[in-house]
Amino acid sequence: MRKYLLFALLTACFFTLAEEDYANVVGKVENWIENNYRKGSRAIKIKYSELDEIINEKGIGKQAKIIKLKKAFPKAFVKVEKPLIYQEPISWEIHSLSLGYDITESATGTTKDVDILKAVSSNESEHNSSTQSSRISRHKVDAGAGANAEIGQNPFKWLDHLSGSTIQLHARYVYGKDWTNQRTELWSDRNKEIFLKERAKITEMIHQVGVRNLHLTFAISFTNNSNEEVRCDLKKIEIPVYMNGKLIKSATFHGSLEEIIILAKTTVVLSFRMNLDTTSARELVAFMGNHAPDIRIDHSSIIFEMKESQRSINITAKGNVHTIPVQISMPGFYSTWNIRKYHTSNSNTVTIGEALKAVNDDLYRVVQRDLMKWENGTLVSFSDIPFEISSDVNAERCYFVFLQDNDTRKLIPVNAGTLDQPLPASGITLWSIYSEKPESYENIPSGVKKQILEKLERIAEKKKLSNLMFFVGKFYFKGFPNKNEKKAFEWFEKAAEKGNAYAQNGLGYCYYYSKGVEQNYAEAVKWYRKAAEKGYAVAQYNLGVCYAKGEGVEKNYAEAVKWFRKAAEQNNAEGQALLGGCYLQGIGVEKNPAKAKELFQKAAAQGFEPAKEALQKMEQAEQ
């Protein structure tokens, strides 16, 4: 009896498994058809017809149908190991935001399109072509910091390899999401400055006779990351624009095209325009003094049709793939990689270390070197910049790298224990900052800046690193995260007492200009001299100024010339310019206009504006 029961149980289990396998197989075929053919197309109807024919076939069992299905739809059963980095078929970026208006010229009766920002900043109406030029987007990488004269000292010289190259960064820019942390800002500080300064004039423009059709324009770069041609009906695109949560109206394509075709692996830039009535225009001008309007491409319906597979892609639709962003922000480079949350081979969540290695491999394809280096499971450096500071930093070109957990907004260690942890739900950001370029850290959240500064303070204090002490003072002075001149003075003093020439000059500057301490020219001269005698050109120039003005020391033009000359010999532009001035006027040295001109030329070649002006006056006088 038990044998019969056991046999019946095994038979039932076998048929149950067979039914489950059959349902699973049918489901795979259906998913494959849905993912590879456009809904409503003739091709998808043919494939479903083939599927139904096998499913409804009489006289054969489910196992036989499974064999037929696998033979008829072999691609549905090919196990593809998907890459850890997920790439959207179509990625996009919004840029080139501006306000403009049409003006009718009374003499000719013609209409031209005027860009308000250009008109106000140059105080004249300039013709602004409706064709938007493509700038380097997140999918094209500029050499940026890598293309300078001191490339040998630049840890990002590898960016040279990326110049003009299209890199599959797998980034999808989501406008409006985490807006404050996006590097590419639509509303630049320069534009804000113009609006705040000229707001009344712009408002007046709106009511001028002949001025009509005030409009907001912007451009969108669409990148086709797929391997086939795609097309889009431009007449159907409407992109809503909001201000303080209030819908202004929708922007439409600005141009004569009705359809756009994007070839595989290429980018096109399209211009969109939204006409405004007088009331909306005035409200928007007031709003844009401090904010960019919210261009909600995610609320529009932009459909791309793929030529070969006949699939439809709604770029605003949320995909089924669960991804987590990994961002890298550094001087001259910023991008986001979308990492699949789960491995394709198992259900384990991707770790921080695995995500970083995937990004490293993606960059390796272009630069042909590993930018991230590991030792015993610990991430040691990025682009040769160490994560942990074990010795003093370069006093002239100082770079730092940090890793941030985007969930907690806290810095995280890069040891094996942390890197083996699951990737945080909001992702991670690798920040690389260059102390001499404030723009390299302007997008770092203030809370993270505070953590970075606290970490640098602890290391500088513990290891007695004078250059790092100097940079801590410099960060406080520059407002990282908040300007604190008293703290800056204290850190300069600590480093200066250890003989650090840069800090000694910084301390002299604080005494001279009363930054964090009471003004004291004598103390300024004392510290300038210490740094100048160590050969620091900036301090030599500063000491020369004190002698020339008689501040903190008896006025002595000969001594001023002596220190200006020392600074000029080190190619210090300020020293060259002031030494040139001395030669031109015969102050502290015999008058020599030819020598003055030579020095002004050297300083001007470095971009020093006062030297350019002096040179221009000399050339005008010679005519």
pLDDT at residue 196 in the model:
65
pLDDT at residue 347 in the model:
57
Residue written as tokens 């009509």?
Answer: 212
Query: How far apart are alpha carbons 397 and 247 in whole angstroms?
Result: 47
Query: How far apart are alpha carbons 556 and 589 in whole angstroms?
Result: 11
**From its phi and psi, is residue 265 left (phi > 0), alpha (psi between -120 and 50) or beta?**
left
DSSP secondary-structure letter at 107? T
Its sign, for the CA torsion 546, 550, 555, 557, is positive
pLDDT at residue 311 in the model:
82
* 495, 469 contact by CB (below 8 A): yes
Q: How far is residue 173 from each of residues 169, 316, 510, measured CA to CA in Å?
A: 11, 11, 43
Q: Determine the residue type at 273.
A: R
| Widest Cα–Cα separation across the chain | 124
- Of 298, 302, 296, 300, nearest to 314 by C-alpha is 302
Residue written as tokens 């900052």?
Answer: 433
**From its phi and psi, is residue 24 left (phi > 0), alpha (psi between -120 and 50) or beta?**
alpha
Q: Cis (ω within 30 of 0) for the bond into 593?
A: no
pLDDT at residue 298 in the model:
73
- Of 37, 565, 493, 502, nearest to 305 by C-alpha is 37
DSSP secondary-structure letter at 298? G
pLDDT at residue 223 in the model:
83
What six digits make up the tokens of 41?
């197309």
DSSP 312-378: EEETTSPPS--EEEEEEEETTEEEEEEEESB-SSSSPBPBHHHHHHHHHHHHHHHH-S-SEEEETTE
Helix (H) or strand (E) holding 379: strand 378-382
pLDDT at residue 159 in the model:
63
What six digits make up the tokens of 503?
């800090």
Residue written as tokens 């004039």?
Answer: 201
* 331, 438 contact by CB (below 8 A): no
Query: How far apart are alpha carbons 470 and 453 in whole angstroms?
Result: 12
- Of 391, 432, 426, nearest to 405 by C-alpha is 426
C-alpha Rg value of the chain to the nearest Å = 32
Query: How far apart are alpha carbons 35 and 98 in whole angstroms?
Result: 39
Compute mean pLDDT per 10 residues along the chain, 623 residues long, and list them: 44 43 87 75 86 90 88 80 79 74 47 45 29 24 26 58 45 34 46 61 57 74 85 91 86 90 88 84 73 78 84 69 84 81 71 93 82 91 88 77 92 91 92 81 85 93 92 91 94 95 95 96 97 95 95 95 96 94 94 94 93 90 80
Q: Which residues, in sequence order, are CB contacts of 331 under 8 Å at separation 6+?
A: 144, 145, 156, 432, 433, 434, 437, 439, 440
Query: How far apart are alpha carbons 111 and 109 in whole angstroms?
Result: 7
- Partnered with residue 247 across adjacent β-strands are 242
pLDDT at residue 130 in the model:
22
* 260, 268 contact by CB (below 8 A): yes
Q: Determine the residue type at 313.
A: I
User: Which pTM value belongs to this model?
Assistant: 0.63
pLDDT at residue 129 in the model:
23
